[in-house]
Amino acid sequence: MSSPVMALEGLWLAQTMKHSSWLYPTVETMHIWGIGMLFGSVVIMDLRILGVASKLNLSDLSRLGVLVALLGFGLAVLTGSLMFITQASELIGSRLFILKMCLIFLLLANAIILRMRTVSNGISKAQALISLAGWASVIGMGRWLAYL
Ligand code: HEM
């Protein structure tokens, strides 16, 4: 166990969350709010890129979709980090947690490239499929963390 990780667990905030009966579940609830906002927007935008409801203007849809997705992602990162510090040494040694973080990083890069082009062609359709499968997998990994 490395000392910076132990230091995180020793933080007042981490100890308070650990010893409160309601704080952790509340933060976890907010994590799910963030995930809902992120994944909901991603599904709508990706389906549009894949050709569903092609009459809807992609730029207009993306303007709102990206904003809600970013707010949701910010909430998920904030609440995820709070949960992380309560069990940092355990999670840092978990392959599933590391995989989840790497996948989030790759999906973020994928989303930035998609957003930069805002078109619906062959490459962006492949990216939309990767995005749908990838974010769905991140949700599965997050849920499975509690059981492994
Ligand atoms: C930096 C970003 C993130 C961090 C540090 C983080 C961290 C965590 C932690 C520590 C847990 C609790 C694991 C446990 O039960 O032992 C968790 C749960 C979870 N995470 Fe994340 N997370 C992040 C982003 C995300 C994102 C972007 C998604 C989905 C799109 C996600 C999906 C989930 C799910 C579905 C759960 C399970 C919630 C539950 O069982 O109630 N996480 N996350």
* pLDDT tens digits, one per residue of 72-116: 999 999 999 999 999 999 999 999 999 999 999 999 999 999 988
Gap between the Cα atoms of 68 and 54, Å rounded: 21
Kindly give the number of the ligand 1 atom that is closest to the alpha carbon of 38: 30
Could you tell me if the CB of 76 is within 6 A of ligand 1?
yes
Kindly give the number of the ligand 1 atom that is closest to the alpha carbon of 146: 15
Report which protein residue has its CA nearest ligand 1's atom 16: 146
Q: Residue 135, by phi and psi: left (phi above 0), alpha (psi -120 to 50) or beta? A: alpha
Say how many CA atoms lie within 13 Å of 27 toward its Cβ.
19
Global pTM reads 0.94
According to the model, what pLDDT value does residue 109 have? 97
According to the model, what pLDDT value does residue 117 have? 76
**CA 51 to ligand 1 centroid distance, Å:** 30
Categorize the per-residue pLDDT at 68 as very low, low, confident or very high, splitting at 50, 70 and 90.
very high
CA 48-54-36 angle, 5° bins: 25
